[in-house]
Structure 1
């Protein structure tokens, strides 16, 4: 799925939702909403044949715990979830959701801790941030047997190409003009 659709739309507001519906992007990361609006956001995207992932840590009015994950699965019905929390990844996988663990790699300690969490919880994919750090993407790719999505600060076509050439299988971006690559 990610190989065929290497650019993922990351949406953070209703204006982004409208734009992504007009795009050819297949995969959408929902990085906004609340417990009242999330179901409608997901249903709208799915009605336009988009594959939806909800970043559960960013949904207002929802605690990012087991009941919050179950609520999202039962009510919004996304294809999968994104989270920085290892416990959320583990529980979501147990519920049958596709999981993407977001990892911020800012120093050696965060790299080591991120690798351990990924090895322990085995998410379906990881999102390495910032996505414009090709050396980090290469290093993570060497160490782990997991699909890598580069996210964060992806602003140009060359950023996309560089991330993909260093081992990322896809990139997520809020930049509308990159959604059509």
Structure 2
């Protein structure tokens, strides 16, 4: 994992996950150091990333949610060549692997919805070699704790986080950071 990203996660245990321009404006007012960009299209993603970077924050683009990009390596290449993004987020291990190969920080987003998904975590991580994994939904402290125990790489938890108690229980379960679209969490 790139040192700047690791330091940012350690210094700021909450990640702002933004899903619209209003969220973008709000997160810029926070002390948060890492921003997950969950919206945009090929025409405006570079501008969104620039806005985040000009505020001195790290920008990671959720590739699967950017309109106009496909689930192919060329989409990762596009983010690298045409934006100043620090990295990508994706549910697709092949894209995560390619991001690492071209020097982008990578977050493999995993939905742990049943025991089969839990059992596949190590297989996906081994093949993709992400810098971190993000487990959703976050509000499963027992499951998150088990994932943290089996994972050889840092774990972020996201989804349905609504208050400081949620953040604290997830950090106690072993995650390095918590991502949230909830603006109140950004300003704790």
Shift of 1:117: 0.5
Question: Are 1:179 and 2:186 matched, yes or no?
Answer: yes
Report what 1:28 is aligned to.
35
Report what 1:167 is aligned to.
174
Tell me which of 123, 142, 151 is aligned to 1:144: 151
Report what 2:101 is aligned to.
94
CA distance in 2, matches of 1:23, 1:142: 31
CA distance in 1, matches of 2:54, 2:46: 12
Report what 2:13 is aligned to.
6
- SS state at 1:17 partner: helix
Report what 1:54 is aligned to.
61
Q: Unpaired runs of 5+ in structure 2?
A: 1-6
CA distance in 2, matches of 1:99, 1:126: 8
Q: Deviations over 1:97-156 (max 9, x none)?
A: 011000000111011112211122221000000111111111111111110000000111
Shift of 1:65: 1.1
What is the TM-score with the length of structure 1 in the denominator? 0.97
RMSD (Å), alpha carbons: 0.8
- SS state at 2:27 partner: helix
Contact between 2:89 and 2:109, CA under 8 Å: does it hold in 1?
Answer: yes
Shift of 1:4: 1.1
Q: Unpaired runs of 5+ in structure 1?
A: none
- Corresponding pairs, count: 181
